[in-house]
Amino acid sequence: MRLAPKWLSSKTLLNPITRMALAAFAWRHRHEILRWGRTLYDQVIGRSETSPARAVRTGQVLYAIAADHRLRDAKQLKKVTMVGSEVDLVVDEGWSELPRLIERVRSVKGVRTVMVNGASASSAKVGLISVAS
């Protein structure tokens, strides 16, 4: 009796074509994969107080970013850190999509404050636009 579907066998996953497809997918989305990895590592391993609620909120913020096609795979956004209800974005300040990113993160339930590279997003100059709360 099989517990897993036939397509999920080790013989299928070790197929050279499957490996190539997985490698191409990972390379195409490398910035998103690395952002999720850095953020979740910092939230789960790097902090002493870990909770399922915190992991869910962090996942919601990352998903909100990944769901927007203009923000997904952006190499300008390096890391997302969430402490309590405050989100800190490590990002290139000259990025043209930064105002969109800030609004997208603010729309997530449970996020009260958005910081850009350690400074409040409401006082940070974003390109030529000053983002207001």
What's the pTM value of the predicted model, to 2 decimals?
0.67
The mean predicted confidence, pLDDT, of the chain is 78
> Cα–Cα distance between 94 and 114 in angstroms, integer?
17
pLDDT band at residue 3 under the 50/70/90 scheme: low
Residues 6+ apart with CB under 8 A from 62: 35, 36, 39, 40, 80
| Beta sheet of 86-91, edge-to-edge order | 77-83, 86-91, 113-116, 119-120
Residue 88's Cβ-side half-sphere holds a number of Cα atoms within 13 Å equal to 11
Q: Where do the structural domains in the chain lie, given as residue ranges?
A: 8-130
CA distance 25 to 48: 33
The count of C-alpha atoms lying within 13 angstroms of the C-alpha of 121, restricted to the half-sphere facing its C-beta, is 24
pLDDT digits (tens, 9 = 90+) for 23-75: 888 888 888 888 888 777 777 777 666 677 777 888 888 889 888 888 888 88
Q: Which of 95, 94, 86, 93 is nearest to 115 (CA)?
A: 86
- Binned at pLDDT 50, 70 and 90, residue 11 comes out as low
Compare 126 and 4 and report the one with higher pLDDT: 4
